């Protein structure tokens, strides 16, 4: 193996270590988003608000596994493993790029659908539907659709209480914003992070794919 191939080998190994850490980070970020949103399936109104966090966790898990085996294949100088790894990186590149493009193209429509999900939760906020606004008000420390003024009797969830029999104090709920804007802002900040990080990661994956192909070719020629 010549000097350039040796350089590719160790550079690829280091990049794989970065991607192992990146995969773990994506899993953590997706898990935090799911935890923050709480149980929102009760008022999704046909919009699955958990789709993106779950996709992030899946992509993070796949990235971790592929990068881990990439480290093993690279350090052992196995041409077959390195070729399979390159193909996996190409597939990941395509998926990451598709996710990034979709978020860039459909971001406004997606944020609008998140706002409509809260509107539907407000319209169906009754005992028969299980008070879907409670989950949102507890998770985001907000009150009402656009503000606490919409309530005749402010529920305990506007003060962070899970027990609906508790009385919510005015000094607490009067400081809390409307849930619609809070929920849309939450998704706006997270989709910005996801689309730019996905694009950057996709470019790194393309570079790794090219280096892996070069390295596999050099291994076969030995």
Lowest-confidence region among 64-73, 139-148, 202-211: 64-73
Confidence of residue 42 (pLDDT cuts 50, 70, 90): very low
Looking at per-residue pLDDT, the higher value among 190 and 8 belongs to 190
**Percent helix, percent strand, percent coil in the chain, to nearest 5:** 75, 0, 25
Q: What is the DSSP letter of 127?
A: G
Q: What is the pLDDT of residues 103-143, one digit of tens each?
A: 888 888 888 888 888 898 899 888 888 888 898 898 889 99
Looking at per-residue pLDDT, the higher value among 25 and 176 belongs to 176
* pTM for this predicted structure: 0.67
Q: What is the pLDDT of residues 10-38, one digit of tens each?
A: 787 787 777 778 788 888 878 887 776 65
What are phi and psi for residue 221, nearest 5 degrees? Answer: -80, -5
Residue 201 has pLDDT above 90, yes or no: no
Residue 43 has pLDDT above 90, yes or no: no
Q: Which domain holds residue 171?
A: 3-221
Q: What's the rounded mean pLDDT across residues 169-178? A: 93
Q: What is the DSSP letter of 169?
A: P
Instruction: State how many domains the chain has.
Output: 1
Strands (E), 77-177: none
Residue 55 has pLDDT above 60, yes or no: yes
Angstrom distances, CA of residue 166 to CA of 122, 152, 183, 212 = 21, 16, 25, 61
**Cβ partners under 8 Å of residue 197, min gap 6:** none
């Amino acid at each position: 193996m010549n000097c350039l191939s040796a350089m590719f080998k160790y550079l690829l190994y280091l990049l794989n270590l970065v991607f192992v850490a990146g995969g773990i980070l994506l899993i953590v970020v997706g898990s935090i988003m799911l935890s923050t949103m709480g149980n929102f399936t009760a008022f999704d109104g046909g919009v699955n608000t958990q789709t993106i966090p779950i996709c992030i966790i899946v992509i993070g898990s796949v990235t971790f596994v592929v990068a881990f085996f990439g480290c093993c294949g690279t350090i052992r100088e196995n041409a077959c493993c390195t070729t399979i790894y390159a193909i996996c990186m190409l597939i990941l590149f395509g998926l990451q790029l598709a996710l990034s493009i979709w978020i860039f193209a459909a971001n406004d429509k997606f944020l609008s659908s998140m706002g409509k999900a809260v509107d539907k939760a407000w319209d169906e906020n009754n005992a028969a539907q299980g008070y879907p606004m409670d989950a949102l008000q507890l998770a985001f420390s907000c009150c009402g659709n656009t503000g606490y003024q919409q309530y005749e009797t402010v529920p305990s969830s506007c003060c962070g209480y899970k027990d609906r029999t508790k009385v919510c104090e005015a000094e607490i709920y009067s400081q809390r914003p409307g849930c619609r804007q809070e929920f849309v802002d939450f998704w706006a900040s997270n989709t910005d992070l996801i689309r730019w990080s996905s694009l950057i990661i996709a470019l790194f994956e393309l570079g790794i794919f090219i280096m892996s192909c070069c390295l596999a070719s050099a291994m076969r020629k030995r």
